[in-house]
């Protein structure tokens, strides 16, 4: 969901913006879409009121007020606000332990609950906390809706069987009560309930022009009227009071009651926001509309406050009505406002007909609607995915069935946040190597690594909660290959690095420097570079240690790594560059090679130009080429004497000590190692060709073949 910054007055004045920019050409499409959605909303408003244990007229009031206010203050053109399965079952779950279902106290508390949950949503919107819903895992919503679906189905057994079962009994208790009273099943009610389920399930195969819920409720109500089933004990809704939604007398100053309801209001607000924003985002994926999550919070908050004040109960966004609004061609949010007005007009114009709708019919409609809430395909995807999300889904599902719903939601949300913190605090840190074709990097998967250079991918942010894990994992990687003293961090996945992360990088570099190595990085993001500069770490590390990814290995191989180790002690060919060096072993009994300290210059350098001039002077120096014989045969400086480095390291040399000796290799690093060995043998007047044969050729000086 896309968010953009609006001032508080801008968030609250959304209706003026909507009406002021309303295109007159859209009224016809919006009116037809509103009528279509209203046809579905009418039976749902009645059924969901019964699900919440409230008078059906409260559902009509909620449908009218929430649809109208939610449309005017929301951000989405298609998100439809009003009574929903989830909001109804949550309302019942919160209030049933406190008051007798259907009592005056129960009804008043339902209105207060709507106001409280609305104020919470409104406050979150004004505080611009719209992005918080992104931290609630889909596993929580999927597990909760699946459990709530089963609860709703179990709550419909009483009306369908016409048994005195309280809707707050729970799934297992409801099933046990129903089994003990099987002999008292009211067959006409059972037939109406099952018939409604059958019609709604099969209706889409006949036509989709008329909503299946409306068709099922209308047809089975007609059957009940034709056969006069009320005379056989079928219970009906009864007459509705006429008039506009009255202003409710809510106990707004009853702090004790507010304290009892606040946890439930928070749970209703959170799950309602997650539900509404997810629906708006799903529809916007088709409509390509730009949405503002903060404005949607305002819309949901205003809708619930208004519903509670005008004799309604908590509401939320409905997926099937929102999708229907889009499919019906709604162009603006006014279509949803028109659906609310249609409900108010139709409810009282059709009052004589609505009064005779059997409760079993509405219960059947609720049962099959609740069954559709159980997203079995999505549950299977989560089950096959990350184990952590599967566990969250199962625990939320179980808590929904066994605990009060508000606690089940809070448990799921806390587990979701905990799982998020766990994942972000343990980003993947893996040692990487090039693939077999040296085109891409991949985890080393047990392949031998370079004995000098570790290449590590950090796949996540380096912040205070993750630094211990990142540092410990890097230490483990370096400990697995004790000779590694150079570390190349690939930072392309690090979007954020705080001061704790900077301190961790400083510690790692200090350890590497103690080993005689150093720390290098590639693909460092601009925000991370900015943070490094502010902390002074960038200057401490040096810009030369932040390398281009495509050239990093080439640079380190030819300017940093010790070639003596590569040639004489390493049989691995971890990088493409390894194939350019010969692989030999030192004679038996030779001591292991001591790593050359980083940046050591045992003797002065001599530039290629200065060497050329010295070669043509009266006292030319002796040029000793310490490369391998194969390299020497390919090209060398005229007059150079080949003395491979392994001979310099393992046996005394008989080179003249009276004149100057210039040591030559490919880049200068083997020359430095040879100079160190010759100094130990008593040689003093030594020089190293600066940059080696690479610099010699770059200076366009001739080499012999």
Q: Are 486 and 454 in contact (CB under 8 A)?
A: yes
Q: What is the pLDDT of residues 18-62, one digit of tens each?
A: 888 889 888 988 998 888 788 778 888 888 898 899 998 999 999
β-partners of residue 490 are 457, 522
327 contact partners, CB below 8 Å, separation of at least 6 = none
pLDDT of amino acid 39: 73
The closest alpha carbon to 66, from 357, 330, 281, 276, belongs to 276
Q: Which has the minimum average pLDDT: 119-133, 242-256, 378-392, 543-557?
A: 119-133
pLDDT of amino acid 4: 46
Report residue 291's pLDDT band, with 50, 70 and 90 as the boundaries.
confident
pLDDT of amino acid 705: 41
Tokens representing 618?
């009266």
- Rounded average pLDDT over 647-653: 83
pLDDT of amino acid 1: 40
The beta strand positions in 398-495, using DSSP E, are 428-434, 441-443, 453-459, 486-490
Name the average pLDDT for the chain.
Answer: 86
Report residue 595's pLDDT band, with 50, 70 and 90 as the boundaries.
low
Q: How far apart are CA 144 and CA 86, in angstroms?
A: 9
Residue 422, φ and ψ in degrees, nearest 5:
-65, -45
Q: How far apart are CA 36 and CA 328, in angstroms?
A: 7
Q: Provide the pairing of β-strand 622-625 with 605-606.
A: unpaired
Percent of the chain with pLDDT over 70: 94
pLDDT of amino acid 583: 67
Q: How far apart are CA 669 and CA 595, in angstroms?
A: 12
The SS3 assignment for 575 reads coil
Tokens representing 628?
């391998």
Q: What is the pLDDT of residues 321-354, one digit of tens each?
A: 887 788 778 899 999 999 999 888 887 788 788 8
Report residue 250's pLDDT band, with 50, 70 and 90 as the boundaries.
very high
Percent of the chain with pLDDT over 90: 37
83 contact partners, CB below 8 Å, separation of at least 6 = 44, 45, 48, 49, 59, 62, 63, 66, 313, 315
pLDDT of amino acid 293: 82
Most confident option among 72-86, 287-301, 667-681: 72-86
Q: Are 605 and 668 in contact (CB under 8 A)?
A: yes
Report residue 394's pLDDT band, with 50, 70 and 90 as the boundaries.
very high
19 contact partners, CB below 8 Å, separation of at least 6 = none
Q: Which has the minimum average pLDDT: 411-425, 513-527, 691-705?
A: 691-705
Per-residue pLDDT at 281 exceeds 80: no
pLDDT of amino acid 586: 63
Q: How far apart are CA 366 and CA 149, in angstroms?
A: 10
Q: Which has the minimum average pLDDT: 139-143, 378-382, 551-555?
A: 139-143
The SS3 assignment for 559 reads helix
Q: What is the pLDDT of residues 573-593, one digit of tens each?
A: 788 888 777 766 666 555 555
Per-residue pLDDT at 596 exceeds 70: no
Report residue 121's pLDDT band, with 50, 70 and 90 as the boundaries.
very high
Per-residue pLDDT at 615 exceeds 60: yes
Q: What is the pLDDT of residues 172-230, one digit of tens each?
A: 888 888 888 888 899 999 999 999 999 989 998 888 777 788 788 889 999 999 999 99
- Rounded average pLDDT over 254-282: 87
- Rounded average pLDDT over 101-124: 94
279 contact partners, CB below 8 Å, separation of at least 6 = 79, 317, 318, 319, 322
pLDDT of amino acid 599: 59
Q: Are 445 and 430 in contact (CB under 8 A)?
A: no
The closest alpha carbon to 646, from 578, 589, 568, belongs to 568
Q: How far apart are CA 156 and CA 154, in angstroms?
A: 5
Q: How far apart are CA 493 and CA 491, in angstroms?
A: 6
Set out the domains of the chain in order of their start, with CATH numbers.
26-238+262-418 (no CATH), 428-566 (3.30.750.24), 605-698 (3.40.250.10)
Instruction: Give the dihedral of Cα atoms 269, 275, 276, 281; nearest 10 deg.
Output: 140
């Amino acid at each position: 969901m896309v968010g953009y910054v609006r001032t508080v007055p801008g968030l609250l004045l959304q209706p003026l913006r909507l009406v002021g920019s309303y295109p007159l050409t859209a009224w016809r499409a919006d009116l037809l879409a509103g009528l279509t959605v209203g046809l579905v909303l009418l039976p749902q408003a009645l059924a969901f009121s019964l699900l919440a244990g409230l008078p059906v007229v409260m559902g009509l009031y909620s449908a009218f007020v929430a649809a109208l206010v939610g449309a005017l203050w929301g951000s989405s053109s298609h998100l439809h606000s009003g009574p929903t399965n989830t909001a109804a079952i949550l309302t019942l779950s919160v209030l049933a332990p406190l008051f007798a279902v259907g009592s005056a106290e129960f009804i008043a508390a339902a209105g207060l609950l709507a106001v409280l949950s609305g104020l919470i949503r409104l406050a979150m919107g004004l505080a611009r906390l719209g992005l918080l819903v992104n931290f609630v895992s889909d596993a929580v919503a999927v597990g909760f809706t699946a459990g709530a679906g089963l609860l709703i189905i179990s709550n419909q057994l009483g009306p369908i069987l016409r048994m005195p079962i309280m809707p707050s009994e729970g799934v297992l208790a409801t099933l046990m009560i129903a089994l003990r009273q099987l002999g008292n099943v009211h067959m006409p009610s059972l037939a109406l309930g099952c018939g409604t389920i059958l019609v709604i399930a099969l209706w889409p195969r006949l036509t989709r022009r008329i909503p299946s819920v409306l068709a099922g409720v209308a047809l089975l109500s007609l059957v009940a009227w034709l056969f006069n089933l009320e005379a056989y004990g079928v219970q009906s809704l009864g007459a509705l009071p006429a008039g506009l939604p009255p202003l409710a007398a809510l106990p707004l100053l009853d702090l004790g009651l507010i304290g009892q309801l606040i946890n439930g209001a928070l749970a209703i607000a959170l799950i309602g926001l997650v539900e509404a924003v997810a629906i708006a985002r799903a529809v916007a994926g088709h409509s390509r509309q730009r949405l503002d999550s903060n404005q949607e919070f305002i819309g949901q908050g205003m809708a619930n406050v208004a519903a509670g004040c005008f004799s309604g109960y908590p509401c939320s966004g409905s997926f099937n009505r929102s999708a229907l609004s889009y499919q019906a061609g709604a162009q603006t949010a006014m279509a949803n406002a028109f659906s609310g007005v249609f409900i108010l007009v139709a409810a009282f114009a059709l009052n004589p007909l609505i009064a005779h709708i059997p409760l079993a019919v509405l219960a059947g409609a609720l049962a099959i609607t609740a069954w559709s809430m159980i997203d079995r395909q999505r549950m299977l995807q989560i089950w096959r995915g990350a184990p952590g999300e599967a566990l969250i889904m199962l625990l939320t599902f179980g808590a929904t069935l066994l605990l009060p719903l508000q606690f089940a939601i809070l448990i799921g949300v806390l587990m979701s946040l905990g799982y998020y913190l766990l994942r972000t605090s343990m980003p993947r840190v893996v040692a990487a190597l090039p693939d077999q074709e040296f085109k891409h990097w991949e985890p080393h998967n047990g392949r031998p690594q370079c004995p000098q250079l570790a290449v590590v991918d950090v796949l996540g942010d380096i912040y205070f909660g993750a630094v211990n894990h990142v540092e410990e994992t890097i230490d483990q990687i370096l400990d697995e290959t004790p000779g590694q003293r150079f570390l190349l961090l690939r930072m392309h996945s690090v979007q954020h690095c705080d001061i704790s992360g900077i301190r961790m990088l400083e510690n790692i570099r200090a350890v590497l420097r103690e080993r005689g190595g150093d720390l290098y990085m590639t693909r460092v993001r601009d925000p991370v570079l900015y943070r490094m500069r502010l902390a002074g770490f960038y200057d401490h590390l040096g810009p030369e240690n932040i390398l281009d990814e495509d050239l990093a290995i080439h640079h380190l191989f030819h300017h940093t790594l010790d070639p003596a180790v590569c040639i004489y002690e390493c049989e691995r060919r971890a990088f493409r560059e390894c194939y350019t060096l010969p692989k030999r072993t030192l004679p038996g009994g030779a001591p292991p090679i001591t790593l050359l300290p980083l940046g050591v210059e045992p003797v002065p350098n001599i530039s290629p130009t200065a060497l050329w001039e010295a070669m043509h002077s009266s006292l030319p120096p002796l040029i000793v080429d310490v490369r391998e014989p194969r390299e020497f045969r390919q090209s060398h400086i005229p007059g150079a004497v080949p003395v491979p480095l392994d001979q310099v390291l393992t046996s005394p040399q008989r080179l003249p000590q009276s004149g100057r000796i210039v040591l030559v290799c490919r880049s200068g690093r083997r020359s430095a190692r040879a100079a160190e060995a010759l100094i130990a043998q008593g040689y003093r007047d030594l020089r190293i060709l600066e940059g080696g044969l690479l610099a010699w050729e770059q200076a366009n000086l001739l080499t012999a073949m």
